[in-house]
Amino acid sequence: MNNKTFPLTAEQLRKLVATYPTPFYIYDERAIRENARNIKKAFAILPGFFEHFAVKALPNPFILKILKDEGFGADCSSLPELLLSEQAGIRGEAIMFTSNDTPAHEYQEAKQMGAIINLDDYTHIDFLESVAGIPELISCRYNPGPLKEGNAIIGKPEEAKYGFTRDQLFKGYQRLREKGARRFALHTMVASNELNIEYHIETARILFELAVELYQKLGIRLEFVNLGGGAGIPYRLDQQAIDYDALTRGIRRAYDAIIVPAGLDPLGIHLEWGRIITGPYGWLVSTAIHEKHIYRDYIGLDATMADLMRPGMYGAYHHITVAGKESAPLTETYDVVGSLCENNDKFAVQRKLPRIERGDLVIIHDAGAHGRAMGFNYNGKLRAGELLLRSDGSVVPIRRRETVEDYFATLDFTALSQFSSAEPS
């Protein structure tokens, strides 16, 4: 059983809330750095290891800068993510641009920045050539279809909109070489929040075998394979974290069995992990502001699904504790909810918790990835800010909370005052 902790005492948290009212996200810099170093240490047994942090998981330049300091790059899927990475000092081939249904201007910007473009579809070869030109280094995203099982979050690969088929992949590399590409990479992404290390080892094996076949059939020697993201974290108390050393030993065995005999050593190993990098080291802190007792007992928070949509969107579990009551008996059963006009605006359903009073500080764990990033403004809700707990114990704001002025910023009230609501004749 894993133990869910929070880096501040109840007293420290209350002092913090006096300066930064809830709800807010807070991230632990020391823990993120230690995790990054543990990952690099484990993967050091593999050649050319490089991690492109999935910016979509936590798109904040302060976090990106911390990870850059630890030697990580960025995995981007949009123009704003490219620009965020650049602002954090991540540039050139440290960025991998993996998008789908990509507009022309985003390909143009990625190429101009020198990012590694990872094509999602065979038809994008001609499209990229026409709008930006084919770069010297290019990657293609492989969809293994029924060859590889998906999982509950990402679904079956053959039903996914992403990637080349196997046949398209071979034709694609041949065309790219004809169009001037000289350096090549291969990528796949087939799971999300997967804790089974054998799943990730099998993914590596599939890419290694493809690398050998591409060399034997086309004479194309890959510079690296990107094993994608999808590494999970133990959201539930009865789950165990991925053993980095066991994972890398398994990948190394597959590498030695497939790549080395084919004469393709060294072949770089890249990742685009996101959730596992920051997920366990971020928390959404909220205040209990109401209680309701009808057919069920409810605790209403000042945060909503607009701040953390995972539980409401697909029933994801996030552990919940109450500051100062971590050891209190779990005597109550609550639905923990927000104030959206949607009945799925729930952080927990029929959860055993200690008795919660109005004013209690409620901590939602494992919110450091795909939390604030997935926020929205339905019902005019204003999204929470973000704080960083520095390694020296100080706390700094790294994103302010939204205001009503932010919500109205894209509306033109001047034009509204001149607008006639009468239908034109």
What pLDDT, on the 0 to 100 scale, is given for residue 162?
A: 85
The domains of the chain, with CATH numbers, are 29-279 (3.20.20.10), 280-408 (2.40.37.10)
Print pLDDT tens along the chain (425 aa). Answer: 678 999 999 999 999 999 999 999 999 999 999 999 999 999 999 999 999 999 999 999 999 999 999 999 999 999 999 999 999 999 999 999 999 999 999 999 999 999 999 999 999 999 999 999 999 999 999 998 866 465 554 456 666 768 999 999 999 999 999 999 999 999 998 888 999 999 999 999 999 999 999 999 999 999 999 999 999 999 999 999 999 999 999 999 999 999 999 999 999 999 999 999 999 999 999 999 999 999 999 999 999 999 999 999 999 999 999 999 999 999 999 999 999 999 999 999 999 999 999 999 999 999 999 999 999 999 999 999 999 999 999 999 999 999 999 999 999 999 988 887 766 66
Bridge partners (DSSP) of residue 300 are 290, 337
Q: How far apart are alpha carbons 126 and 133 in whole angstroms?
A: 9
DSSP-assigned letter for residue 90:
-
The residue type of 266 is P
Helices 124-131 and 104-113 sit at what angle, rounded to 10 degrees?
A: 70
Query: Catalytic: which of 18, 341, 409, 411?
Result: 341
Is 140 marked active-site? no
Q: How far apart are the first and last CA of the chain?
A: 70
At residue 335, the 3 state secondary structure works out as strand
Q: What is the pLDDT of residue 417?
A: 87
Distance from C-alpha of 200 to C-alpha of 203, rounded to nearest angstrom: 5
Q: Which of 271, 261, 264 is nearest to 214 (CA)?
A: 264
pLDDT of residue 182: 98
Q: What is the reported pLDDT for 1?
A: 66
Q: How far apart are CA 101 and CA 162, in angstroms?
A: 9
The 3 state secondary structure assigned to 153-173 is: CCECHHHCCCCECHHHHHHHH
H, E, C per residue of 58-85: CCCHHHHHHHHHCCCEEEECCHHHHHHH
The pLDDT of residue 315 is 93
Task: Give 332: exposed, middle or buried? Use CB within 10 Å, 0-12, 13-18, 19+.
Answer: middle
Q: Is the dihedral of CA 238, 32, 246, 272 positive or negative?
A: positive
Looking at the DSSP bridge assignments, the partners of residue 346 are: 337
Q: How far apart are CA 96 and CA 293, in angstroms?
A: 50
Beta strand 385-389 with 395-399 is antiparallel
Q: Determine the pLDDT at residue 153.
A: 46
At 267-309, the pLDDT tens digits run 999 999 999 999 999 999 999 999 999 999 999 999 999 999 9
Backbone angles phi, psi at 241, to 5 degrees: -65, 155
Tell me if the bond preceding 146 is cis, omega within 30° of 0: no
Q: Which tens digit of pLDDT belongs to each residue from 89-148? A: 999 999 999 999 999 999 999 999 999 999 999 999 999 999 999 999 999 999 988 664
